[in-house]
């Protein structure tokens, strides 16, 4: 099989972006079907690099004496296409998270030790430190983009506290039909979730949540309650 070129992949991405962005959504023709075939093949080329990233991450966790809780996934076709349409300037060949693996550790110290070992063994192309600088939604983790066999793999590092917050938010987002973790959804809910994350971060770093934040959490919970009970404003 002839290897796909970046230009082939990017052309396919543009064809699919244009077709899925068309409000009229015409019947899919030969060009669109060929572009889908390229996307399927390109996605598949991430499988082996992802396995190598997963195995390497497991090895690093064992070396650092951390619990080995690692998962991996190839981004779903529908999610790739959704990202293409949401980010119209992004070239498909440069999409950084088609393959991803995640490690969940117990403490911040463990997270930072694994991060340092990863960076030493395979210097990342990019690091997004959402622990030092959380997303507006309150999402916390460290994301590293690392190349394996010429493919970009996203490695996520979370503590158990960060992971439990993210899982709860994803579950709530599913109920509301909103991507809350990415900051999309009702503002009262987003503000409440961000405040919860702030409190969790304080406790995780050994601090004590003060009365002002506790009061703010209670007030924000009241504001979010109509959405949480299935209603709307």
Query: pTM for the full model?
Result: 0.88
- CA 72, CA 50: separation in Å to the nearest integer? 7
Mean pLDDT score, 18-42: 89
119 pLDDT more than 50: yes
Mean pLDDT score, 6-12: 96
Question: Confidence band (pLDDT; 50, 70, 90) for 204?
Answer: very high
Mean pLDDT score, 112-134: 95
- CA 172, CA 166: separation in Å to the nearest integer? 10
Mean pLDDT score, 224-231: 80
Mean of per-residue pLDDT scores for the chain: 92
Q: What is the pLDDT of residue 53?
A: 96
User: 57-108 pLDDT, tens per residue?
Assistant: 999 999 999 988 999 999 999 999 999 999 999 999 999 999 999 999 999 9
Strand 70-74 and strand 126-129: the pairing is: unpaired
DSSP symbol at 3: P
* Partner residues linked to 126 by β-bridges: 145
Angle CA 217–223–226, to nearest 5: 130
């Amino acid at each position: 099989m002839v290897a796909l070129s970046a230009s082939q992949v990017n052309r396919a991405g543009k064809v699919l972006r244009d077709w899925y962005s068309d409000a009229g959504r015409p019947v899919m023709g030969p060009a669109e079907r060929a572009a889908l075939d390229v996307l399927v093949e390109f996605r598949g080329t991430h499988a082996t690099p992802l396995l190598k990233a997963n195995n390497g991450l497991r090895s690093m966790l064992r070396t650092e004496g951390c619990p080995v809780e690692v998962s991996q996934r190839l981004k779903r076709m529908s999610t790739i296409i959704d990202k293409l349409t949401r980010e119209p300037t992004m070239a498909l060949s440069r999409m950084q998270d088609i393959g991803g693996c995640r490690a969940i550790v117990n403490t911040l110290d463990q997270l930072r030790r694994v991060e340092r070992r990863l960076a030493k063994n395979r210097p990342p192309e990019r690091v997004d430190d959402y622990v030092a600088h959380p997303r507006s939604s309150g999402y916390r983790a460290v994301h590293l983009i690392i190349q394996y066999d010429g493919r970009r793999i996203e490695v996520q590092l979370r503590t158990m506290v960060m992971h439990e917050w993210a899982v709860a938010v994803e579950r709530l987002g599913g109920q509301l039909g909103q991507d809350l973790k990415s900051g999309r959804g009702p503002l009262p809910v987003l503000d409440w979730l961000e405040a919860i994350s702030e409190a969790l971060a304080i406790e995780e770093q050994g601090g004590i949540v003060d009365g002002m934040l506790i009061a703010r959490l209670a007030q924000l919970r009241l504001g979010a309650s109509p959405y949480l009970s299935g209603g709307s404003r």
